[in-house]
């Protein structure tokens, strides 16, 4: 990304040994990068942020800033990569499954400081625990044996020598303030700064101020696969095209619409990865795909082979699904599930 992300030229990815080009391989590249950033160790993001949104995992900021610590430098390098990827996806109008929390964007843009109330949406369990401490009788606090370190992260002190201070009625407000401040700001500041530095090398921060923090969280992610409105028969039939052997009245096309409308969230992602190269839909669902998803008949050779002997195939660069005219809805279901499971991560058609 250091070599190829700079400049305004559209970035497209090809894989060695594969002839496929265009948006499909490129979107799959971004999807694989996103998956690795979410799952690699050391952990980059909190595990408990609601709605699948991403907010940095807190680390001791002094440790993160030490150049001689391999683990800390890995974390910061990956946040730099994340900044490059997100900026390039915005510039190139690509989808990538990285939904950064609005609080993250607020910190990146520096639009306003984060208050304690932001903790409710970033870490509801921690926020609830702090509210319980706020409401607790002062004489019971000392019995909790809580020191001034970050809950769940004893290596992160809330103030110098924090492990030697105990929570009590007189320092309760200080404790509550410091937990929120460290969780939302201080223990994630080096990561956010690394992201910001890489991001603004490609895209000026001022350019992004036309969007709200909530809009920035969705702009490169598109529509959630959890949104059933984009997977109902009416939306599918209105926005998926039938051509070259099929019409919207064709039995096999209708079987496909029924199949898609019944998919689980996980299989929706699998279908989109197979058909488009990205695991999510653009804003607006299937109506946002450019070009629209088009279903055409994949003709079977002469007897004794029939359509049931062949698999569906796709041209991801054109959102083009080549579907044999299967003998039944059950056969279509079997073949598509197999294609969705086995037909990813290879681009063998030019």
Catalytic residues: 317
Please, what is the end-to-end C-alpha distance for the chain in angstroms?
25
How distant is the alpha carbon of residue 34 from its chain centre? 7
| CA geometry: angle 344, 348, 350, nearest 5 deg | 125
Strands (E), the chain: 149-150, 153-157, 241-243, 294-297, 313-315, 320-323
Rounded-to-integer distance, Cα 183 and Cα 131, Å = 15
Rounded-to-integer distance, Cα 222 and Cα 93, Å = 11
Rounded-to-integer distance, Cα 250 and Cα 129, Å = 57
Q: C-alpha dihedral over 138, 143, 149, 152, to 10 degrees?
A: -110
Q: C-alpha dihedral over 161, 165, 167, 169, to 10 degrees?
A: -120
Please write down the long-range contacts of 73-78, taking CB distance under 8 Å and 24 or more positions apart. 74/42, 75/42, 75/44, 75/191, 76/190, 76/191, 76/194, 77/194, 78/37, 78/40, 78/44
Rounded-to-integer distance, Cα 221 and Cα 196, Å = 19
State the number of CA atoms in the 13 A half-sphere of 29 facing the CB: 19
Residue (of 92, 84, 81, 85) closest to 31 by Cα position: 85
Q: Please state whether beta strands 313-315 and 294-297 pair in parallel, antiparallel, or not at all (unpaired).
A: unpaired
């Amino acid at each position: 990304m250091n070599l190829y992300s700079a400049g305004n030229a559209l970035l497209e990815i090809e894989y060695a040994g594969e002839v496929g080009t265009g948006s499909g391989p490129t979107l799959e590249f971004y999807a694989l990068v996103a998956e690795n950033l979410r799952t690699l160790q050391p952990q980059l993001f909190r595990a408990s942020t609601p709605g699948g949104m991403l907010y940095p995992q807190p680390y001791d900021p002094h440790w993160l800033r030490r150049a001689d610590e391999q683990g800390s430098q890995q974390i910061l390098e990956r946040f730099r990569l994340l900044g490059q990827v997100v900026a390039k996806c915005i510039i190139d109008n690509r989808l990538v499954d990285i939904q950064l929390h609005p609080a993250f964007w607020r910190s990146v843009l520096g639009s306003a400081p984060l208050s304690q109330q932001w903790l409710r949406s970033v870490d509801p369990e921690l926020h609830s625990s702090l509210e319980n401490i706020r409401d607790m009788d002062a004489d019971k606090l000392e019995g909790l044996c809580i020191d001034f370190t970050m809950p769940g992260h004893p290596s992160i002190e809330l103030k110098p020598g924090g492990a030697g201070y105990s929570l009590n009625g007189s320092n309760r407000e200080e404790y509550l303030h410091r937990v929120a401040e460290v969780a939302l700001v201080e223990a994630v500041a080096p990561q956010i700064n690394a992201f910001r530095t890489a991001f603004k090398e490609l895209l000026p921060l001022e350019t992004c101020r036309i969007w709200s923090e909530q809009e920035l969280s969705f702009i490169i992610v598109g529509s959630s696969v959890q949104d059933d409105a984009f997977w109902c028969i009416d939306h599918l039939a209105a926005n998926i095209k039938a051509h070259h052997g099929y019409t919207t009245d064709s039995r096999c096309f209708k079987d496909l619409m029924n199949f898609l409308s019944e998919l689980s969230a996980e299989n929706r992602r699998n279908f989109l990865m197979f058909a488009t190269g990205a695991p999510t839909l653009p804003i607006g669902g299937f109506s946002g795909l450019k070009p629209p998803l088009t279903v055409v008949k994949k003709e079977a050779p002469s007897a004794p082979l029939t359509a049931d002997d062949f698999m569906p195939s796709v041209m991801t660069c054109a959102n083009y699904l080549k579907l044999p005219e299967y003998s039944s809805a059950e056969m279509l279901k079997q073949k598509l599930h197999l294609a969705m499971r086995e037909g990813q991560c290879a681009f063998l058609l030019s």
